[in-house]
Amino acid sequence: MAAAADLTGTKRVMAYALCKHLNVDPSTVSNTNIEESDIASLFSHIVKSSQDEVMKWVKFSSDFAGSNGKQHALLDNLNQDLSQKSVLLGDGLKPSVADIVVFATVQAFVTHVSDSELQKFPHVLRWMDYIQNIVDFGTTSQKINVAKSVFAPPSHPKKADKGDTESSSKKAVSGQKIADKSNGSADSKKKPAGETKAPEKETPTTARDNKTSGEKKKDKSAGKTAEKASEKALEKTADKDSECNISILNIQVGLIRKAWKHPSADSLLVEEIDLGDGNVRQVVSGLAKYCSPDDLTNRHVVLITNVKPGKLRDVMSAGLVLCASTEDHTAVEPLIPPEGAKIGERISFDGFDGKPEDVLNPKKKQLDKITPHLRTDENGIATFKGIPFTTSAGPCRSSIRNGNVK
């Protein structure tokens, strides 16, 4: 009886989500139809599709619901299928009817499986977490509590900015000068009256002390030159460090309100991205090969907002959407901020607390120096030199693990 009740509940959740997905009134599917139909019949009644790829997943759902004891093997197959993609059909991010019917079927089963057992299917869990947060399954559907990887950000010493380096350098030089002056004063004190000393053979040290005033001036001038060279070297090092410092970037959470194809470039998409407080900007991205405009609409993203605005094929762009990609660049997807991250909030990095530059200088090629250090780790968490992209709700992620980020 319990299994029958679970199956009826599964079909009810599936029917509701399919209707919402297809803009059909859920009340047009009767309770009798839900209770008496099997999964395949109910699906065909609502969707009226005969596509082979779609029907393959409908059959998977029917087999899963009716295969007591074999669900773990089927989950393993599903886990392998999802290892290189975000959704069941296509290469994009938009869920299809196949995702809905499989999710509804699998969800009823995984609610009765232990957490330790579920960890054997990481790609299934990642997919379920994504689908349940983007598809409306109604109020009767119980959300899966996906235990995300917990990380303790490593403690990193605060990076000294240029001002701190200059200050430390000057203090060190000043301290050395005071010490030298003090030693000189002590040596110049007169000997006590009556004290005599036998003449000593001139040593290299005394010879150096007996230099002419002209020679001493030359030495003093050389010392000052060395000090200035040392200060300039420190400044140069500070400049170099600042150019590869993630804090110079203004990386924020945004919401894509609209997306459309670039009018004159097949590989580009144009997005209208909301950063909160009325700050909406237009960004051009090279995502047309990997995502459709519908995939991106109403999607939260992570973007750099202080790049210098410019035109890409005659369309103005004022930002850079950060994406993860595989090594061979066959899969690319925008980074995903965690649920609860606020639109417009700045991404932070432990140990890097500096203020971002107003606008990056393209001539300095700052991005070229920073992006080689941006990657996703083995858990899909986006990082800079191993330090996570962090929001008020947690780290930003991608379904692409150990990938490049740019």
Rounded to whole angstroms, the Cα distance separating 69 from 73 reads 9
| Contacts for 337 with CB less than 8 Å, ≥ 6 apart | 253, 300, 301, 302, 391, 393, 396
Torsion angle, alpha carbons of 32, 36, 41, 47, to 10:
20
Higher per-residue confidence, 60 vs 189: 60
Identify the three-state secondary structure at position 50: coil
Residue 123's pLDDT is 87
* 251-405 belongs to CATH 3.40.50.300: no
The model's pLDDT over 9-27, given as tens digits with 9 standing for 90+, comes to: 888 888 898 988 888 888 8
- Residue 82 pLDDT more than 60? yes
What sign for the dihedral angle of Cα 367, 370, 371, 374? Answer: negative
pLDDT at position 325 is 94
Other C-beta atoms lying within 10 Å of the C-beta of residue 398: 25
Nearest to 319 by CA among 292, 289, 359, 355: 359
> Which structure tokens are listed for 142?
């119980």
User: How far apart are the C-alpha atoms of 146 and 396, rounded to whole Å?
Assistant: 15
Phi and psi, residue 47, nearest 5°: -90, -35
What's the sign of the alpha-carbon dihedral 236, 242, 243, 245?
Answer: positive
Distance (Å, whole) CA 355 – CA 364: 18
Give the containing element (helix H, strand E) for 269: strand 269-274
Tell me what pLDDT residue 237 has.
45
Contact 299, 256 (CB under 8 A): yes
Nearest to 10 by CA among 55, 89, 66, 52: 66
Mean pLDDT, residues 132-136: 85
| pLDDT for position 114 | 84
335 in Cβ contact with 322 (< 8 Å): yes
pLDDT digits (tens, 9 = 90+) for 320-359: 999 999 998 889 999 999 989 999 999 999 999 889 999 9
Q: What one-character-per-residue DSSP string does 101-126 give?
A: HHHHHHHHHHTTS-HHHHTT-HHHHH
Helix H segments across 189-212? 204-209
Angle, alpha carbons 314-320-321 (nearest 5°): 120
Return the higher-pLDDT residue of 392 and 190: 392
Best CA proximity match to 144, nearest among 170, 118, 177, 183? 118
Q: Express each pLDDT in 255-288 by its tens digit.
A: 999 999 999 999 999 999 999 988 999 999 999 9
Binning pLDDT at 50, 70 and 90, where does residue 91 land?
Answer: low
Q: What pLDDT digit, counting tens, does each position of 166-180 carry?
A: 554 555 545 555 555
Question: Quick one: which H or E segment has residue 302?
Answer: strand 300-304
Match domain 7-134 to its CATH number in 3.65.10.10, 1.20.1050.130, 3.40.120.10, 1.10.10.10.
1.20.1050.130
Q: What is the distance of C-alpha 113 from the center of its chain?
A: 31
- Residue span(s) of the chain under CATH 1.20.1050.130 come to 7-134
Give Dmax (Cα) for the chain.
Answer: 124
Q: Two tokens at 81? A: 């299928």
Confidence of residue 392 (pLDDT cuts 50, 70, 90): very high
- What are the C-alpha distances in Å from 365 to residues 90, 107, 304? 36, 48, 15
In the chain, list all ranges with CATH 2.40.50.140.
Answer: 251-405
